[in-house]
Structure 1
Amino acid sequence: MKPIFVYCLLIAALMASLSFSLGLGAMDIPVKDVLLILFHKTGLFKHHMVPEQYETVIRIVRLPRVLLGVLVGAGLGISGAAVQGIFRNPLAEPGLIGISAGASLIAVAIIALEIGVLSGLGNLLGYYLLAFGAFAGAGIAAMLVYQISRTDGRPNVATMLLAGIAINALAGALTGLITYLANEQQLRNITFWMLGSLAGATWETVLALLPFIVIPVVLLPFMGKALNAFALGEAQADHLGLKVNLVKRRVVILATMAVGAAVAVSGVIGFVGLLVPHTIRLFIGVDNKYVLPASALLGALILTLADMIARTVVSPVELPIGVITALLGTPLFLYILIKDKKKLLQ
């Protein structure tokens, strides 16, 4: 398919899913009223009356949550595509270089170790302590992996991959140890956070996350041409005049920024960064100039739909969104693998 057609299709699907997501919940709101409320904010259709409780629910509860899902999904989707491009590996994702594991370790420590300096910081920063800690953990893990992978001043992709596996194993072991030592209440909080949720969405959360997602989403597509050169191999990209080390550094920093911030506010949401780029390449090919922005759109769409399912399928109970993304993603990912395998055998 032509990229412009895919973009238009994704945007239309995203707009439709946003409208339905804003209307569904404990209080069902007709899509017509949802659109009227949104248009009221632009000064249109002011003469149409909408129940005040509808406007309150959408403005205070649902709109921040939906926008948070769009931001988190876009960040995870485009980061997954960029990391796969830099590693030249379709099975790579941001979690592979320790970003998610580092964020999870610090967040779990903050939840469980409510003593000493953490208790004092918690009283001072409140909810933002968890967000800041998760973001810092992601940055530290990415920095460690990057430094370990440096050989003669140049980061090596294969070594970076192995270092990421090691950091993931270490962070996973420490997270498991902290979880084992946690009490029952802390264990419930840790489990729910590790499975991912957008339940804590507020306008403050959305505004805090906005720059950390917008910057990677805007800048990474400009690196599409460089990532296409990476597909030929680092040596060939270097011969083409590409500043290989600079590209790797920028991709890792931008991916860490997006994924670290997303994990900080929503917990661990798997499969989006891995599955989204695969799906996009089935429709528009492997040109990263088109794959990167399309991955941001599809990531936003998938997370919006997953969150809508998570909070409505067994209402009033809310399912962890990470469970939904795994249940939706696994069959489709297996289908993609089987389809690719058949192509290879032909």
Structure 2
Amino acid sequence: MPRRTATMLASLLTLIALLCAGVLIPVPYAGMSPGPSYDVLGKDRETGEPVLQIKGRKTYGAEGHLNMTTVQVTRADHDMNLFEAVHGWLSDDDIVVPYENLYPDDKSAEEVNEENAEEFTLSQESAKVAALRHLKIPVRTRVVVAAVVKGGAAQGKLHAGDVIVKVDGKPVRDPADVGRLVSAHRPGERVEFSVVPAERAKKAEEAEKKAGGAGRTGEEAARTVPVTITTRKAPDGDRAVVGIQAAADHSLPFRIDIKLADVGGPSAGLMFALAVIDRLTPGSMTGGKFIAGTGTIDDNGEVNPIGGIAMKTIGARRAGAEYFLTPADNCAAAAADVPDGLTLVKVRNLDDAVRAVEDISAGRTSELPSCTKR
């Protein structure tokens, strides 16, 4: 065989081997790309049901769009090959990240999905509370035991769902109050809780709803039981702990349901809150404009940053959005590469977001706070 032919054949075989390796050999990376955008004023694409449903309160029609945005990620069981990784690195719209960034080694795919679903549910609750507070609609809030640490001092004495009314005789109004009052002790000292057991609290709440009330009933407040717990030393320091996680539990004066299939994570909170406000106030808040956005939200309406901001702005523009409500702490990253035709609007809290939507509706776009690269 002529040397030139042999060389070409060897090169061809080497190329084929490299191509096979690129296809067959997995690399430890995962991909992120712009995901679907959903109008929270509209209907779920799968079920055909309205995303937002409010019962027991007068609602109003809405025009335009308030779109939440998502990031699409590769499945946990997908083995990315070298070709896919290189394509992602070269693409303007996709991102390649280390696999463990999306699927940590200490968590299974099922656990990651469960966490995302739980975060999505919690974001809905915070959105509802923030929206009603913005509208000055009373929301009853109480502090409950969210979880009891296995093997902790409180195990068998306090239970998930118990309502914490007092600690050492001092009223509890916020989950942080519990930690503060417990840590005022030294490890080994006793702390006394006044609680309404979970089952009793549930019955009182059901009776309250039937009666049409929104505040704590006298019966519930009076029927507390004392629980004494000996504190222990915290695993990460010298402070006293009892081994519980306290959380705020809210009771709304009417029913608000948010239903959206196959979506997880906390970043839709801001857009959910805006949709609730729009539905509960006369007229169309958007004025028919196409507005998208993202951001987690807490019970007090503070908007916090999210991941994948670049993917979400791309997805929003593809869906047709002209304005994008952007958490202030995401502004610099979002402004680094803004899709053509999309205006970024900086928001720090729900009040900012409402004002921005109203300004967009009224055509006062020159007054919008913008995002800058620095």
Both proteins in one fold, TM over 0.5: no
Structure with a larger share of its residues in helix: 1
